């Protein structure tokens, strides 16, 4: 895989847009696919804004020209891509269907990369004819600033796929830690139940969201606090990931708290909607 290899990104939501920003900023041409035209139009603006942010933070090489960005509603446009990164909703059914369709469009040996936060890779591998091509890479948000990536090797993932993805991540300036397949892997298995408990504390009236985050920052060294992190992840995405963990582990700590579910019902999903545990709207400042 070379620097002019086209990378396909499936899904123009928060994570897909962040990953696309990283790729474009590092000079890779990409094809960004979504089912909604308005979402793709919004992604254009968010990618431009993200690139400016990355440049200000010194996260993009100043001498490197941005890669070409193509947006499309047609999945068939991924044909010919050197790698495919899936970043759609955290639903096993949706992801499996998409991988089944995508695997028919790309050649053998093309890495099929799922950015799932918790669905086991071997479970998704059931949907593709070449399970050796499937691997997990759990980017964090914002992907264009956070340099560490959790890479998940499924039991059927081919060594060539692992090597190809590690090479791509190195070209993107990312550090990778390869872990074995399991529900939630490492980061989500530790982080998401903690956020869930923090939300329960708020719901019980023990402390406000700001008090919980302040204590976690000041006493335990958490960089942003769990509830600000929830707003960054997207509370709907967090609830979906917790459902995946609860269904596969049976751990009651992973059952989405009523506080999270109520915020999803109200459309208070975090930064992407302007309000979650905190208010990000201009009129609230």
DSSP structure class, residue 245: H
C-alpha span between 226 and 232 (Å, rounded):
10
Residue 41 neighbours by CB under 8 Å, 6+ apart: none
- Residue partners of 25: CB distance under 8 A and separation at least 6: 50, 51, 54, 55, 59, 60, 64, 66, 67, 144
Cis peptide before 30 (omega within 30 of 0): no
Contact 23, 30 (CB under 8 A): yes
Which sequence positions are flagged as catalytic? 138
Residue 152 main-chain phi, psi, to 5 deg: -115, 115
């Amino acid at each position: 895989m070379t620097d002019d290899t086209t990378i396909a990104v499936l899904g123009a939501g928060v994570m897909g847009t962040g990953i696309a920003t990283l790729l474009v900023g590092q000079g890779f041409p990409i094809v960004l696919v979504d089912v909604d035209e308005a979402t793709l139009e919004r992604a254009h603006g968010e990618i431009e804004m993200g690139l400016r942010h990355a440049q200000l933070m010194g996260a993009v090489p100043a001498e490197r020209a941005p890669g070409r960005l193509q947006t499309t509603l047609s999945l068939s446009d991924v044909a010919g891509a050197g790698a495919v990164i899936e970043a759609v909703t955290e639903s096993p059914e949706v992801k499996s269907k998409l991988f089944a369709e995508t695997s028919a469009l790309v050649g053998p040996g093309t890495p099929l990369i799922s950015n799932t936060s918790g669905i086991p890779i071997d479970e998704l591998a059931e949907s593709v004819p070449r399970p050796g091509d499937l691997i997990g890479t759990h980017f964090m948000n914002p992907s264009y600033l956070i340099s560490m990536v959790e890479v998940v090797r499924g039991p059927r993932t081919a060594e060539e796929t692992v090597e190809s993805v590690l090479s791509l991540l190195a070209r993107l300036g990312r550090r990778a830690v390869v872990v074995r397949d399991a529900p939630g892997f490492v980061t989500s298995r530790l982080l998401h139940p903690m956020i869930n408990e923090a939300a329960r504390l708020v719901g019980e009236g023990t402390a406000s969201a700001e008090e919980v985050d302040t204590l976690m920052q000041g006493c335990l060294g958490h960089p942003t606090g769990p509830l600000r992190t929830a707003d960054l992840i997207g509370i709907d995405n967090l609830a979906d990931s917790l459902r995946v963990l609860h269904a596969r582990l049976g751990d009651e700590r992973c059952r989405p708290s009523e506080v999270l579910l109520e915020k999803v019902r109200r459309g208070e999903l975090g930064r992407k909607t302007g309000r979650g545990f905190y208010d990000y709207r201009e009129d609230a400042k």
